[in-house]
Structure formats: structure tokens, C-alpha cells
């Protein structure tokens, strides 16, 4: 391999290279590929095509100028602002720190050779990679801590009493009546097996989101806009008379869905199962963005892209730091409104907030942010697991503050409620829900009286 790209008419004519230059070029190319691999491993999308392209681009800059070299690499390999920090870190590490380390090693003979052979990452990254690589066995272990103490005990008992339990328990799913019961049962009182069954059922659910009209048109037999291009073509045979008309009509697309899920301590009984639920939704629909929050907001859309639910959920828990901690809904929504609203709430998005409304932040912050959030989306739906119990009243300060700004306030405590949600999502149309002060007051009054 040489640094010269072969078939390229842009390529500047150069003097034939001396052997030393060729050797240097090859070494540079080798190092570039190695650097590309490091970037790829930390999640920056660098493919061979990009690397080839870069090798060609480097012909136009003076590679001995460190600054230019850096800028060239950056503008060619990086494509997302979010990854800039990682890129810089890796750049520093690879082109400066690692060299220094290697030099030190080289002074102590023997050690250097081994290091050259395999690529090295900083300890934190290495750990992440290692975790990423040895997964399959941990899978089951990982799910266990989510179970409550009582459940774990019950499960142990069951195992003790009936070691062949696994074989007898419904290979094809539960019988109808059992299924019905499961659908109505609160997630909170699920046993281990029921959790598994619920996960399976969730995976089978199909989701539809309300459609929104786009500004694009497509040809159709009947429509509202004349399709001039085809009209002229069709009517050529009649001379200049327009006898056949063809039409175009508005194209419809599903609305984007944004899910913001509470994973703080008070939600811990529900949050893992809800994550599964979010995973099935995001895999079933095209345009879903997902976030989780406790005291801070984390975007988990990328993690949920993994096909396997357990993989995805594990990945999420690794990336989220405030698992089962306190709740600051107002602050989380503030962050969302500032950083993400403009990017994900375009095109008539439907927002799904999942939280029990136990908020330790300030009510005034929450109010402002809820107001803004409602104004920037097409429909704001709040799912509250506590709403499942008939005596529940939205009395916590957080819930009370948020209530006036919610378009649909729904339970999310059992499978039935999720199915109900699915139906609601499918029927969302273009009409805006009433958001006048009077309508808000009425809704709040209805909730505090307890009529649903």
C-alpha cells in the first residue's frame, strides 16, 4: 500500500518518491488506520472509505504542520458536534500521550515490542470495551437486582418446591384467562415469571402513531392539486385540449414520538419494565427519540437501537448515572427544552412523559418548563403508574403543578393500560387539544374530584 491514491485526476503531479519518503508515507498511513480504528471503537463512524478519502486529502496540506494536520483530520473524520470532545481526547491520546508513553517504554528494553503489537486504549475506555465484549453470561445476572427481596425469596421457594417448573410452565404462552389476569395485574406485584411473560407480550405488541400531513404531494387518482407535469404528457395526444386530468394529493407520515421516562427511586419498581416497553416502541416505529431522567437527563435513543432488548437495557443502565436516585423533573425538562426540544420536537411530535410526579425540585421551575414543553409539541401525554389505583389523586406538588399542562393523563401500571395507550397513539389526529385556561381548570378540577 502506498499513500498515493491511484486513479485520481485531482491528484497533484509529484516528483517520484524516494524510498525514505515512501517508507514514511507508509508509516503515516499505518498510523492513520490505527487512529481510525481507535475512533471507530469509541463510537465515531469512521469507515475505510473515509480513511482513503483522508489519505487523499492529506496531499493538500503540509502534514508536518501539527495544527493543520489536526484540523484536517478533524474536518474529514468527524461528522457530529456531540463527538467533538471524544475526538479531541482520542487525538491527544493517540498522537501525543501514547507516543510519550511508548518512548518511555522503549527506554526499558523488552517492553516496547509487546506494546507495539496490540493497540492500547486509556484505562477507562479499555474497561468499557472489555465490558462490552464479555456479555452473554452476565445477561441474567444483570436482571436480578431489579427484583424485590420478597420476589427473589418467592422465586427461590418455587424453585425449591418444583425444580421442573420451567418445563411445565406454558411453552406457548399462558392460557387465555391467565393472560387476561396478567394484563390487569399491576406491574408492582409481578413475579419473576410474570415479568418475563410481560416482556414477551410487549415484544408482540404492534404500534401505530397518528399520521400528520406533510408538505409533500404524491400522484393519486383523486386529489386536490393538479399534476401539471403529467397532465401535459397525457394530453399531448389530444393536441392542446386538456381532456384527461391527473391529480396529486398530500402525503401523510407518522408523527415523531418523544419519550421522557422517569427512572428515579420512586419509579424503580416500574422503570426496567417500562424501558422494555420503550424499546419495543422504538423498534416498532420509525421516528422515536427516548430520554430518561432522575436528577439529570440522558438521551438513550442510540442505546435502544440495539435489536436485543436485554442488550439495549443493559447498555442504557451503563450509560445512565442517576439510576434510582432523586427526582428533579423541572430541571430535567429544562435541560430537554434547552438542548433537545428544537432538535427533536419538529414536525408535530407527540411527547410521552412517564413519571409518578414525585418531584424534589422547585415547583416554579417545573411549571415554566411544562408550559414550554406543551407549547412546543403537538400532544403531551403523561403516563403515571400510580394512576392505576382507583383512590389515587394527583396531590403531590409535582403532579399538581404539571397537571394543567398535560393533554392526556393516563395510567401505566399494567399491560392493559399500555394497550390502551397504543390505541390512543393510533388515533391522534391533526386537531389540537384545547389548551385554554378554562379547559385546563376544568381538567384539573375533574382530576382532583376523582372522576376520570
Partner 1 sequence: MDQDSLNTIEDVQRAMFAQNYIADRSLATTVYLALKRRKPLLLEGEPGVGKTEIAKVLAAILNTRLIRLQCYEGIDVSTAVYEWNYTRQMLHIRLMETGGAGRQEELKEIFGPDFLIQRPLLQAIDPANTQAPVLLIDELDRSDEEFEAYLLELLSDFQITIPEIGTISAVQTPIVIITSNRTREIHDALRRRCLYYWIDFPTLEKEYQIVLARMPGVPERLARQVCAFVRELRSADLFKVPGIAETLDWISSLLALNQMELVEEPVRDTLGALLKYQDDVLKVGGSEFTRMLKKATGVS
Instruction: List interacting residues with partner 1 (CB under 8 A).
Output: 10, 45, 47, 49-50, 56-57, 60-61, 67-68, 71-72, 74-76, 78-81, 84, 214-217, 228-229, 231-232, 236, 239-240, 337-338, 342-343, 346-347, 368, 372
Q: Classify strands 350-354 and 408-411 as parallel, antiparallel or unpaired.
A: unpaired
The DSSP H or E segment spanning 410 is strand 408-411
Smallest gap from residue 449 Cβ to partner 1 (A): 33
Alpha-carbon dihedral sign for residues 355, 360, 365, 368: positive
**Complex with partner 1: residue 319 or 338, whichever CB lies closer:** 338
What the block records as the C-alpha cell of 401 is 403543578
**Complex with partner 1: residue 250 or 408, whichever CB lies closer:** 250
**Complex with partner 1: residue 104 or 305, whichever CB lies closer:** 305
**Complex with partner 1: residue 236 or 438, whichever CB lies closer:** 236
The DSSP H or E segment spanning 341 is helix 341-344
Quick count: other Cβ atoms within 10 Å of Cβ 3? 19
**Complex with partner 1: residue 40 or 192, whichever CB lies closer:** 40
Smallest gap from residue 438 Cβ to partner 1 (A): 23
d(CA 259, CA 78): 28
**Complex with partner 1: residue 349 or 386, whichever CB lies closer:** 349
**Complex with partner 1: residue 183 or 372, whichever CB lies closer:** 372
Smallest gap from residue 419 Cβ to partner 1 (A): 30
Helix, strand, coil tally for the chain in percent (to 5): 55, 10, 30
**Complex with partner 1: residue 156 or 228, whichever CB lies closer:** 228
Q: In a 3-state reduction of DSSP, which class is residue 422?
A: helix
d(CA 137, CA 344): 36
**Complex with partner 1: residue 89 or 268, whichever CB lies closer:** 89
Alpha-carbon dihedral sign for residues 352, 357, 361, 364: positive
Buried b (16+ CB within 10 A) or exposed e, 41-68: bbebebeeebbeebbbebeeeeeeeeee
Smallest gap from residue 246 Cβ to partner 1 (A): 13
Smallest gap from residue 124 Cβ to partner 1 (A): 25
Smallest gap from residue 196 Cβ to partner 1 (A): 35
**Complex with partner 1: residue 14 or 236, whichever CB lies closer:** 236
Residues facing 217 on adjacent strands: 250
Smallest gap from residue 421 Cβ to partner 1 (A): 26
Smallest gap from residue 330 Cβ to partner 1 (A): 13
What the block records as the C-alpha cell of 370 is 411544562
Smallest gap from residue 65 Cβ to partner 1 (A): 9
For 362, residues 6+ apart whose C-beta sits below 8 A from its C-beta are 330
Report in angstroms the alpha-carbon separations of 91 from 39, 87, 95, 120, 359: 9, 6, 6, 13, 41
Smallest gap from residue 6 Cβ to partner 1 (A): 16
**Complex with partner 1: residue 49 or 118, whichever CB lies closer:** 49
Name the residue among 193, 191, 187, 152 with its Cα closest to residue 174.
193
Pair 88, 73: CB distance under 8 Å:
no
Residue 408 backbone phi and psi in degrees, to 5? -130, 125
Pair 406, 387: CB distance under 8 Å:
no
Quick count: other Cβ atoms within 10 Å of Cβ 241? 8
Smallest gap from residue 232 Cβ to partner 1 (A): 6
Amino acid at each position: 500500500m502506498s499513500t498515493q491514491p491511484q486513479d485520481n485526476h485531482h491528484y497533484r503531479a509529484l516528483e517520484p518518491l524516494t524510498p525514505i519518503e515512501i517508507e514514511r508515507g507508509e508509516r503515516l498511513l499505518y498510523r492513520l488506520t490505527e487512529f481510525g480504528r481507535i475512533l471507530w471503537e469509541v463510537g465515531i463512524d469512521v469507515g475505510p472509505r473515509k480513511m482513503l478519502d483522508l489519505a487523499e486529502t492529506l496531499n493538500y496540506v503540509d502534514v508536518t504542520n501539527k495544527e493543520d494536520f489536526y484540523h484536517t483530520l478533524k474536518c474529514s473524520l468527524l461528522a457530529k458536534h456531540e463527538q467533538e470532545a471524544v475526538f479531541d481526547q482520542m487525538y491527544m491520546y493517540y498522537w501525543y500521550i501514547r507516543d510519550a508513553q511508548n518512548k518511555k517504554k522503549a527506554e526499558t528494553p523488552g517492553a516496547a515490542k509487546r506494546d507495539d503489537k496490540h493497540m492500547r486504549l486509556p484505562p477507562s475506555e479499555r474497561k468499557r470495551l472489555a465490558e462490552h465484549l464479555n456479555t452473554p453470561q452476565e445477561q441474567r445476572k444483570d436482571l436480578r437486582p431489579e427484583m424485590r427481596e420478597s420476589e427473589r425469596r418467592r422465586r427461590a421457594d418455587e424453585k425449591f418446591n418444583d425444580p421442573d417448573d420451567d418445563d411445565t410452565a406454558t411453552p406457548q404462552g399462558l392460557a387465555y384467562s391467565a393472560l387476561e389476569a396478567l394484563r390487569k395485574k399491576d406491574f408492582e406485584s409481578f413475579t419473576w415469571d410474570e415479568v418475563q411473560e410481560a416482556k414477551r407480550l410487549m415484544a408482540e405488541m404492534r404500534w401505530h402513531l397518528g399520521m400528520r400531513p406533510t408538505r409533500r404531494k404524491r400522484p393519486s387518482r383523486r386529489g386536490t392539486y393538479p399534476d401539471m407535469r403529467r397532465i401535459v404528457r397525457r394530453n399531448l395526444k389530444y393536441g392542446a385540449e386538456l381532456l384527461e386530468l391527473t391529480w396529486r394529493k398530500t402525503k401523510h407520515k407518522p408523527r415523531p414520538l418523544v419519550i421522557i421516562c422517569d427512572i428515579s427511586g420512586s419509579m424503580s419498581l416500574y422503570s426496567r419494565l417500562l424501558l422494555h416497553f420503550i424499546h419495543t416502541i422504538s423498534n416498532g416505529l420509525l421516528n422515536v427519540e427516548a430520554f430518561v431522567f432522575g436528577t439529570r437527563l440522558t438521551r438513550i435513543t442510540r442505546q435502544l437501537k440495539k435489536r436485543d432488548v436485554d442488550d439495549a437495557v443493559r447498555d442504557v443502565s451503563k450509560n445512565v448515572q442517576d439510576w434510582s436516585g432523586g427526582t428533579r423533573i423541572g430541571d430535567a425538562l429544562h435541560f430537554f427544552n434547552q438542548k433537545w426540544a428544537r432538535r427533536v420536537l419538529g414536525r408535530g411530535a407527540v411527547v410521552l412523559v412517564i413519571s409518578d410526579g414525585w418531584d424534589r425540585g422547585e415547583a416554579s421551575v417545573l411549571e415554566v418548563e411544562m408550559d414550554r414543553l406543551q407549547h412546543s409539541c403537538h400532544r403531551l401525554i403523561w403516563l403515571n403508574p400510580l394512576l392505576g389505583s382507583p383512590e389515587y389523586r394527583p396531590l403531590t406538588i409535582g403532579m399538581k403543578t404539571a397537571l394543567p399542562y398535560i393533554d392526556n393523563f393516563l395510567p401505566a401500571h399494567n399491560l392493559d393500560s399500555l394497550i390502551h395507550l397504543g390505541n390512543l397513539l393510533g388515533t391522534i389526529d391533526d386537531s389540537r387539544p384545547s389548551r385554554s385556561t378554562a379547559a385546563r381548570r376544568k381538567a384539573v378540577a375533574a382530576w382532583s374530584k376523582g372522576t376520570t
